[in-house]
Amino acid sequence: MPVPRIETRLLPFVVALLVLCPIVGAASSSATATTRVASAVAIGTGGKASGVKAICAKEAKRKMRRLAARAGASSVSPRRMRRTKASLRRRCLARLRRARKNPQATAAGTPNAAPLAVGIDGGYGGWTDEEVELRDALEAPVTRHEWDPSEPVDSQDDVVLEAASEVHTRIHALLGGNDLGDPGQYRDFVVAFIRRYGVGGSFWSEHPELDASRYAITSFELGNEPYFGTMSPSEYADAVRPALEAVKQQGLPGKIVLASYIYDEDTHWIDTLYQRIPNLNELFYAFADHPYWYGHDPAETGDGNSPFERIDTLRRKMAEHGAGLKPIFITEYGESTANCGEECVSEPVQTAHLQTMIDAAVSRDDWGVELLCLYQLHDWSADSSSREEQFGILQEDGTPKAAYSTAREAMQQYRG
C-alpha cells in the first residue's frame, strides 16, 4: 500500500503559519491549545489520558518531522515550530471530536457492544502440545479459530476440548476462508456447527465435565477476507444468505458476524450486501473488520485508508444502513517484524502499534468494538523476508517479543 502524501496537502498551511503567525500571540495560543487538549482528552475516556491525547500528540510529532524536512524549516524559530505542532494537534482533536459527534452516529445511539475482549488468533487445524502450552500461558479470554466447511463438522473436536479444558479460552469460530463454496452446503455446515458447539450443543452434552456456560461458542464469523479471494460482494451475499435465514428461522443461539471491506470511501461491499439481502439487519449481529496498514501507525491519517479512518467509515456506513447500534469485531490486527522493508516494523514499533490499536478500541466508544483479536500468537519462521511469516507476538521458538507483555496485559484487563 503506498504511503499517503498527507504532507503535500498540509504544506501551504504550515508555510503560512511559519510566515504570517505573529510571535507575540504565542503564549496565549499555547495556553488555549493546552486547555483544548486537556478538555478533548476526556472524550470517551472518562478523563483518562490513555487514548485521544496520546494519538494526537504522536500524529502531530510525526507530521512535524515530515513537514520540516519538506519545507526546509530547520532554521525556523523553535517557538513557531511549537505553534505549528500545537495547531496540528488541535486539528487532530477536532477531527476526532467531529467523528464522535457524527449526526448519523448520534441519531443511531451508542453501539450496543458487550464489554471489550482482547483475544488472539488461533490459526486453523489442530494445536501441538507446545502450542497448547503457549496458549495456556497467554491466557487469552477469546481465541479466533478457523474451520473448513468441506470437512466433517466435528473434525476439530480436539481443539474445542483443549480450548475448554487446558487453554481456558472461549472460541470465536471462523467458518470458512476466502471461498465459501455452495450456498446450500455452507448453510448446512453453519447450522450443524452451531448445533454441535453452540449453547446447548451436542458437544457439551458429550462432555458434561466441561463448563459449557463459559466455553460454549457464541460467535460465528462467516468467511475470512472473502474480498481477497474469488468472491464478489454479490457472491458473498448469496453464499451467506441461506445460512443467515436458517439460523434465524430455527432460532439458533449465536452472534453471526459478517465480513466487511472498506477502502478509502469505497463501501460497495457493504452496500451490495444490503442490496442483495434487504432484511440483513434482522439476520446478523456484527461486522468483522481487518484494519491492517502494514508498517504504519494505525492512528496515522492517510486519505481515508488508515485503520482508524476505515473504522470511522465503517461505523458511518453501518449507521446509514440502520445498523448503528450493532458492534464491530476487529478479528485481525497486527504488524510483521519480518525483514521485508517498509511494510514491516521493528519489535518496539510492533509493540507501539498494537498498544495504539488497543487504546483506541478501549476509548472509542463510538466505534463499538466488542472483540479485538491480535494476529498472531507466534511467527511461522525465523529471520524471514516474507511479511506473512512474522506477525507473532512470540518468535517461532516461543521466545516472547516486546509486544508479548503488552498483549498479555490487555488480555488480562479486557476479558469481555
Q: How many domains does the chain have?
A: 2
Domain that holds residue 69: 6-101
Same domain for 170 and 268, yes or no, is yes
Same domain for 154 and 276, yes or no, is yes
- Residue 190 pLDDT > 70: yes
* Residue 251 falls inside a structural domain: yes
3-state secondary structure of 391: coil
Same domain for 350 and 390, yes or no, is yes
Same domain for 93 and 125, yes or no, is no
Cell numbers representing residue 72 in the block: 526546509
Same domain for 254 and 276, yes or no, is yes
- Residue 37 pLDDT > 50: no
* Residue 339 falls inside a structural domain: yes
CB 127 within 8 A of CB 140: no
| Long-range contacts of the stretch 380-388 (C-beta < 8 A, 24+) | 383/339, 384/338, 384/339, 384/340, 385/338, 385/339, 385/340, 386/338, 386/340, 387/294, 387/336, 387/338, 387/340, 387/343, 387/344, 388/336, 388/338
pLDDT band for position 304 (cuts 50, 70, 90): confident
Same domain for 340 and 205, yes or no, is yes
Task: Give pLDDT tens digits for 338-378.
Answer: 999 999 999 999 999 999 999 999 999 999 999 999 999 99
CB 169 within 8 A of CB 230: no
Q: Which residues, in sequence order, are CB contacts of 28 under 8 Å at separation 6+?
A: none
Q: What is the mean pLDDT of residues 67-77?
A: 52
Q: How far apart are CA 179 and CA 239, in angstroms?
A: 9
Same domain for 125 and 163, yes or no, is yes
The DSSP code for 250 is T
pTM of the model: 0.77
| CA nearest to 175, candidates 220, 142, 215 | 220
Same domain for 217 and 186, yes or no, is yes
- Residue 334 pLDDT > 70: yes
280 vs 78, residue with greater confidence = 280
Task: Give pLDDT tens digits for 135-170.
Answer: 999 999 999 999 999 999 999 999 999 999 999 999
Strand partners of residue 328: 287, 369
- Residue 67 pLDDT > 90: no
Same domain for 75 and 219, yes or no, is no
Cell numbers representing residue 382 in the block: 525465523
State the alpha helices, DSSP H only, in 21-139.
26-41, 52-71, 78-100, 103-108, 129-138
- Name the range with the highest mean pLDDT among 50-59, 84-93, 222-231: 222-231
* Residue 273 falls inside a structural domain: yes
Counting residues of the chain whose pLDDT is more than 70, the rounded percentage is: 76
The confidence score (pLDDT) of residue 11 equals 39
Q: How far apart are CA 164 and CA 9, in angstroms?
A: 52
